Structure formats: C-alpha cells, structure tokens
Structure 1
Amino acid sequence: MKGVLLVNLGSPDSPTAKDVKPYLDEFLMDERVIDVNKVWRNILVRGIILQTRPKKSAEAYAKIWWEEGSPLIVISERFTEKLRAQTNMPVALGMRYGSMTIKNALQELADKGVDDVLLVPLYPHYAMSSFETVVVKVMEDQRQFFPNMRLTTLQAFYKNPDYIKVLSKLIADELKDFEYDHILFSYHGIPERHIRKSDPTGYHCKIDGSCCKVNSVAHNTCYRHQVYATTEMVKKELGLPEDKVSSSFQSRLAGDPWLKPYTDYEFERFPKEGKKRLAVITPAFVSDCLETLEEIAMEGKKQFLEAGGTDYKHIPCLNDNDAWVGVMAKWVNEWQVTGALPS
C-alpha cells in the first residue's frame, strides 16, 4: 500500500529557553548543518553556542509564536490536512528536528498498512543542511525500524513548472496593491564550503558567478545554482524588469564565508541607491518559520526602514495556499497511479 511522508524542519515545543535548548542541540549537532569534526562541533555547539543562544532564540520565537503553537508546525499541519483531502493515500507529517519525529511519522504510516512511501522533503532546493539531511535521516530510520518499507524520494522541485507558476501567482497577488522599487528574493544562507562538498565532480563549483550558468551534473545538488534558477524562472514568468529583481542570502554564522550577497547588507544598500520601496520573498521555505517571520518580516523591515527605506512588504511563503496544495496533490497522485515523479 502506498503512502506519503511529508518532512519539514521542525520547531521547539515552546518559545522558552528550556525547550529551545534541546531543539538547537539536535539541529546544530547535525553533521550536515555544522560540518566540522565531531569533537570541534561539540565544543562549538555545547561549549559556546548553547551557553547563550537558547535565551536569545526563545525571545525571537516568542515574538512570532501563535496561539495554536509554532507557526511552522501549525502551517505544516494545515497543509497536511488539505493534502489528505485530495488523495486517497495515507499522509503523515514528520519533522527533521524536535518532538514530531520522522520515526513516529513512519510508524503512523506503517500502522495504516503502508509499505511503499513517497518521501517529500518540504524544501524546493537541494542543500546538505536541509534536503539531504532529511533524506539521510528518513533512510536511517527506515532501515532500523521499518526494514520492509520501500522509499521513493521526491527530488528538489525548484524548477518544476507547476511550482514556478504557483509561486509566481502568489507573488503577483501579493504585489497587486504594493508599488515597489525592487523585489528581493532572499534565500537561506549556507557556507560556501557546502556548495563545494555537494559537487559530485569535485571541480565544477567555483562560486565565481559563472559556473552556475555552465550546464553540469553538479547543478543537481548545487543550492546556489538552484536558487538563482528559481529567481530567473519567476522573473520570466511574471515579466519582471531585470533591474528590479535580485537575490541574496540570509542567516549566517561567524567564521567561514557564506553565500553572498548578504540580505542584511542589501537592506542597508537599497535605500542609498534610491530603492526605498522593497518587497521581499523567501522561496527557500514553503512554510513561514522563525527565519521568515522574525528575521525577515520583523528585523529586516526595521533595518530597511532605519536605513532610509519608506515601504517594506514581506511576501509570505506558500504555506497552505490552496493552489500549492493542489500542485502537491497532483504530484503525489500521479506517483500513486503511474510511479512517475515530476521533473
């Protein structure tokens, strides 16, 4: 029997330092998130970061927490319920980190007789710290606890025409009543070394502004190429002027260089160039979360306005948008009937 497993990032159980600390520990101790020697990772995370970060992160979570709970969890659950209504397959939701474990989600499917699972990492782009770690964790739990269960993975859908159309429609709808000088596609940041590590050829990715435009098998696992491709495809779909659209990268840790340009630097730069009415979209996520709601919608707006901007609009993620649910339903139902996956 076939079934669907949706996996998103996860969340602490409450916006308190007590609950944030174990969540951050699990997240930051993931070798695909902070990819250094385990001894050094332990020192960095448990000896340094977790001594101060939980309190600060809890304060940030408290600013965006909903009455129903974590926005990411609530939105993901709403999306799951809507998807269930459009397929006759069992659909389970798990999180890579936190108490809504992947193991429990797999058990939910197994209890319903599912032995053939379509894994859907809820990330449009491939990165070792998001898409890859989800796939690896699901495979580990499947091998250990559900050895007779078959897994098929929906690949990163960053350039799928259905996804591009529904993302573009969302952006167009949100911009109907907003006169903008510029649209910024702000993506989650990752260290440059992750790009090189994910390059199967070992030589293609140079992060020099040109390699992303030269066709290569490396693009299948290149986060940088994929996010820029998403921006270009949406820009083409909506007929957006070249000089009014750009991409940047948010969230980073000190140390090694991360993908540039940095979103916070762009917030400072745009007003100085006369771009004082800014719209920001965060397509690395399909569900709004701490990074989109606090870092971009709140702190980003404050920074932009203090730098001289006059109007700022944060465009929400696809969340449980009915058209987006319809796209996912189309994909999973086609897999159920034909075994084929979208390209």
Structure 2
Amino acid sequence: MNKKGVLLVNLGSPDSTSIRDVKKYLGEFLMDERVIDMPYLKRLFLVKGIILNVRPKKTSAAYQKIWWKEGSPLIVLSQRFFDKLKRKVDIPMALGMRYGSMSIEKALHHLKEEGVDEILLIPLYPHYAMSSFETVVVKTEELMKEKYPNKKLTVLPAFYNEKNYINAMSASIKDQLDGHNFDHILFSYHGIPERHIYKSDTTGNHCKLDGTCCEKKSKAHETCYRHQCFETTKEIAKNLQLEEGKYSNSFQSRLLRDPWLKPYTDFELKALAEKGVKKLAVITPSFVTDCLETLEEIAMEGKSEFLEEGGTEFKHIECMNDDDRWVDVVKHWILDWKK
C-alpha cells in the first residue's frame, strides 16, 4: 500500500522586514504569471523595472508595523496551526509556502524523506482564484512532475462553502463579536482583477460581472472566485442570523490600474461612514491566517480610514489562525481522505 502524507500550503512571507528581503519576496510573488498575468517581457519590465524600484520600501514599512518578535505573523500562526494539527493526525505532514524561503519544494522533499508515495495537497485558501489556489496547485504539480513523477497527488477542492468550515468560522466570528451590537458587518475579500474571473470561466461564456451570473447555477462556479466569496458570506450570514442590509461585501488589495472586483474596501469604508454607520466589524474570509492584508491593511489602515470619516468603533475580526475548531475541521478532512 502507498504511504500517505499531507502537504499544507499558505501564501508565504519575506524572511524579515528589511527592504532587501521584501524586494526578494515581492519579486518572486509578482513575477508569478498567475498573479500578474501578462506576457513575460512586459511582466519583467513592470515588476523589475518599475514596481521593485518603488514598492519594497513602502511594503517593508507596512511589515514593520505588524511584525512579531517570533517573525512574520503569517508564518508563526501557520506553524502554530500546523503543530496543533500534527499532534491530532498520525500521518506524515509538511508545511510549505507558495513564495519565500519556506518553499513547496522543501516541503515535498520532507515528505519524500518520510517515504510518502501519495500526497494530499491542501491549499490554505477557501476560494478558487488564479493568483492563490490555482498557482499553488500548478506549482506543486510542476515540482512533482520534475522531481517525483511516480508519486500520486490529490488536491483538496476550494472549501468556501464546506459545512464544517463554515460552522467553525461562524463560531469564531460569533465569539469575537461577543454579543456586541455593531451597526454593520463588512465582509472584505482579497481583490483580483476582473479579467481573472473571465479567464477562470470554464464555460467560456457564463461570467458577465453583471450582478446576475453569480446567482445562476453553472459549472463556472467551481472556479469563480466572485461567486464563491458571495456564497461564503451567505452561509456565514445565515449561521449568524444577520439581518439583510446589516452586512455587505467588498474587495481589498488592488494592484495597478486595471479594473478589479468591486466594491473596493477603502471606498466602502468611506461610504458606510457617510451613510451613518458608527460601529463597524470587518471580516476577512479570504484568509484562514492573519497576514499583512488583514493586520495592516484592515486592522490598522482600514480602521483609521473609517474613524476619520466619522465612525466611532471599528473591530477587525481575526482569522481562524490556530483556533481548535479550525484544526479539527482540517483533521477530519485528512482522516476522511486517509481511509
């Protein structure tokens, strides 16, 4: 019988907050053709010729605001989650990152040293997107084809609406809301360019971004990030019994000037304050682990923007991180696959 093992993959992080390390990390991240999807020479000119001469200093400063003594919050929290999970599942496991020194290649080598023949890949992204879930799968497949062609790979699908995941996340959110009566709850998802939605449409004609296509049942939804985000919101809102009109969706973290999924989170924060929302809670369901996009962009910058526009209370709802309920969800996924 094949010996089974599990590979968990998250986003990644610079090794430190130094401009040099941040530049190296951003270079790998932004040169990924599924993140900036333009021809290689154009991407090279944009990333190496422009972005990496401007952005690393600003991004380094942002990382410095959230960095922990133990290191990058995303790495530390991912490791805590991994350690808890490892204690609950008797199976070889490895943790890798799509970008940075804690690579997928190193994680695969670890599983190979453990004698693993069959791998369950768990991309730690609830939703399918070219620039997150897909790039993890493609990179892992490429490495396995090159280095371990005889090993079998199974990929856990995007789990945006999986019942146990939704229940665990809803419970985590409820604990943090702690009975507090917020005027509004904003579900802020990581943004992607609109063209990525069209590129991921396996039917070639379903996605219109016209406000109706996400509601019409279609095979395209299996790879439609926008639809999956809205479904996550619906399921959590149902679990938490949120009133219609008391919650909404938005998308954060834009890059370049192309049209990205709307509404934009920074615009929405201002609009909500202008509508009279005083007490706001913000949830970031694209991430299972707190990172720069949640801890700095939302919990710091987003809070400042909302309060400056007249809001009086802002609460960032932490990701599930190493919550025991989340650990148990993944444990059961692994055990079901291991049978």
SS in 1 for 2:185: strand
| 1:282-310 deviation digits (Å, cap 9, x = unpaired) | 00000000000000000000000001000
Partner of 2:69: 67
How far apart are the structure 1 equivalents of 2:187 and 2:18? 31
Letter in 1 for 2:10: N
Alignment of 1:130-279 (within 5 A): 130-279=132-281
Amino acid at match of 1:239: Q
Task: Classify the secondary structure of the residue corresponding to 2:157.
Answer: coil
CA deviation string 1:164-216 (max 9, x = no partner): 10011111111115320000000000000000000011110000110000000
SS of equivalent to 2:88: coil
Q: Partners of 1:93 and 1:77 in 2: how far apart?
A: 8
The one-letter amino acid paired with 2:165 is Y
Corresponding residue number in structure 2 for 1:127: 129
User: What's 2:83 paired with?
Assistant: 81
Letter in 2 for 1:196: Y
Q: TM-score, normalised by structure 2?
A: 0.99
Task: Tell me, in whole angstroms, the C-alpha distance in 2 between the residues paired with 1:254 and 1:69.
Answer: 29
Q: Which amino acid aligns with 2:286?
A: A
Secondary structure of 2:170's counterpart equals helix
> In structure 2, what is the Cα distance between the partners aligned to 1:229 and 1:4?
27
Paired amino acid for 2:319: C
Write the deviation string for residues 26-83 of structure 1: whole angstroms up to 9, x where unpaired: 0000000000111111111111000011111000001000000000000111111111
Query: What RMSD in Å do the two structures reach over aligned CA positions?
Result: 0.6
Counterpart of 1:38 in structure 2 is: 40
Among 306, 316, 335, which residue is 1:333 paired with? Answer: 335
| TM-superposition CA deviations, 1:243-277 (whole Å, max 9, x none) | 10101000102321000000000111111111110
Q: For 2:69, give the aligned amino acid.
A: E
What are structure 2's unaligned runs of at least 5 residues?
Answer: none
SS at match of 2:214: helix
1:85 match: secondary structure: helix
Counterpart amino acid of residue 55 in structure 1 = K
Corresponding residue number in structure 2 for 1:105: 107
Instruction: Tell me the distance in 1 between the aligned counterparts of 2:131 and 2:246.
Output: 30
SS state at 1:213 partner:
coil
Q: Supply the distance in 1 between the matched residues of 2:171 and 2:278 (Cα, whole angstroms).
A: 24
Give me the identity figure in percent. 62
Pairing 1:307–2:303 present: no
Gaps of 5+ in 1: 338-343
Aligned to 1:46, the other structure's residue is in SS state helix
* Paired position in structure 2 for 1:297: 299
AA at the equivalent of 2:277? K
Code of the residue aligned with 1:313 in structure 2: it is K
Q: Structure 2: which amino acid aligns with 1:159?
A: N
- Within 1, Cα distance between the matches of 2:17 and 2:58? 10
Deviates more, 1:169-178 or 1:127-136: 169-178
Deviation of the 1:237 alpha carbon: 1.1
1:149 shift after superposition? 1.3
SS at match of 2:164: helix
Instruction: In structure 2, give the amino acid aligned to 1:155.
Output: P
Q: Which residue of 2 aligns with 1:286?
A: 288
User: CA shift at 1:91, angstroms?
Assistant: 1.0
> Which residue identity does 1:330 align to in structure 2?
H
What displacement does 1:148 show? Answer: 1.7
CA apart distance, 1:317: 0.3
SS at match of 2:10: strand
For 1:243, give the aligned amino acid: G
Q: Following the alignment from structure 2 to structure 1, what is the Cα–Cα distance between the partners of residues 180 and 56?
A: 37
Structure 2 Cα separation of the partners of residues 177 and 199 of structure 1 = 40
Q: Take 2:273 and 2:156, find their aligned partners in 1: how far apart are those partners?
A: 40
Q: If the length of structure 1 is used for normalisation, what is the TM-score?
A: 0.97
What amino acid is the match of 1:251? S
Structure 2 CA distance, aligned partners of 1:56 and 1:274? 32
2: distance between equivalents of 1:239 and 1:218? 28
